[in-house]
Amino acid sequence: MRLAELVTAIAIALLSIYLMWKSGEGPSWDPTAERFANIGINIDGRGPGSGFWPFWLSAAMLLSSLAVVVNWARRRTKPSRSDKPYLDYEGKIILAQIGGGLFVFLGLIHFLGYYGAIFLFLVYSIYFLGRHNWRLTLAVSIAVPVFCFFFFDIAMRIVLPKGYLEPLFLPLYDIFL
């Protein structure tokens, strides 16, 4: 498990660096000015570009993975002190439960849309895997899709897939758009 923690942290750090670089790209004849504008650095008076959120979220992911490496080196976490194999039987079961849930989530997006699928995935993750009570499960499982709807569809005007639930969203579009 010690090696697995280090390898995973390094892989996530490299992915973060790649995503930070890609988030700065954008359509422009002047790639330098566009790159900095996309990540929120104002060179010519414009506001942040399309890469603002991806860049800073990737930067946070990079810092988190570096913190994991530091904790690994100091042996502060349980996996960093473990001599167990990379994936024992219990780890394989957990991986199958989470991975299976993610594949079902992705499949449900076509039928229930993003918001219906994320609701069911959160119920599955919080109640069945996390073994939390129904009050917390429903509070989080309802709040996250509602927040995502207002953030993406209303504020950012990024329409996420609705699937067969789309007629439920039409009155909301009439109200907010």
What pLDDT digit, counting tens, does each position of 75-120 carry? 887 777 878 777 778 778 888 999 999 999 999 999 999 999 999 9
| Sign, CA torsion 52/58/62/65 | positive
Question: How many domains does the structure of the chain reveal?
Answer: 2
Under a CB-based contact definition with an 8 Å cutoff, are residues 51 and 23 in contact?
yes
Q: What are phi and psi of 36, to 5 degrees?
A: -70, -35
**Same domain, residue pair 101 and 167:** yes
Model pTM score: 0.67
Domain of residue 97 covers: 90-176
Q: Which of 81, 108, 125 is the last residue of a domain?
A: 81
**Same domain, residue pair 76 and 94:** no
pLDDT of residue 29: 43
Q: Which of 46, 81, 116 is the last residue of a domain?
A: 81
Residues whose CB is less than 8 angstroms from the CB of residue 107 and which lie 6 or more positions away in sequence, other chains included: none
Each residue's pLDDT tens digit in the chain (177 positions)? 788 888 999 999 999 999 988 887 755 444 555 555 556 555 555 666 667 788 889 999 999 999 999 999 998 877 778 787 777 787 788 889 999 999 999 999 999 999 999 999 999 999 999 999 999 999 999 999 999 999 888 887 888 999 999 999 989 888 887
pLDDT of residue 119: 97
**Same domain, residue pair 31 and 71:** yes
Q: Which of 81, 103, 125 is the last residue of a domain?
A: 81
**Same domain, residue pair 163 and 122:** yes
**Same domain, residue pair 170 and 94:** yes
